[in-house]
Amino acid sequence: MNSSTVIQEWTPVCHIEDIPKLGSRVLQQAGADNIAVFRASDDHIFAVVDRCPHKGGPLSAGLVHGHAVTCPLHGWNISLESGQAQAPDEGCARKVAVKVEAGKVYLSLAAQG
């Protein structure tokens, strides 16, 4: 294995049914940023660090619409697919790799913290 090889470690965090449609759940990590795990109306699952790039508001408390979330503090819209703030706002919430297998949600937490 060379040094450019990335090994992804997947951590089970919940079942898809544990996240309400158009809602979120927060994964709290000791010594690391909290992660917001979102479920869109089409059952796509997304995960980002639970902090708006604008003023650090909790994205997990925002309104989910389509594949985006609106920060509850100042109304910034953040794409859940890319983490990017939508124009005219600028900034990016850090994405976390997520996968769903047999109804169970997994996050790649190796690069977090």
Name the residue with tokens 């090994």: 7
d(CA 36, CA 63): 13
The residue that leads in pLDDT, 112 or 9, is 9
The per-residue pLDDT for range 27-36, each reduced to its tens digit, is: 998 888 999 9
pTM tops 0.95, yes or no: no
Q: What is the pLDDT of residue 112?
A: 46
Q: What is the pLDDT of residue 19?
A: 97
Rg for the chain (alpha carbons), in Å?
A: 14
Mean pLDDT of 91-109: 96
Name the residue with tokens 């650090």: 56
Q: Is the pLDDT of residue 7 over 80?
A: no
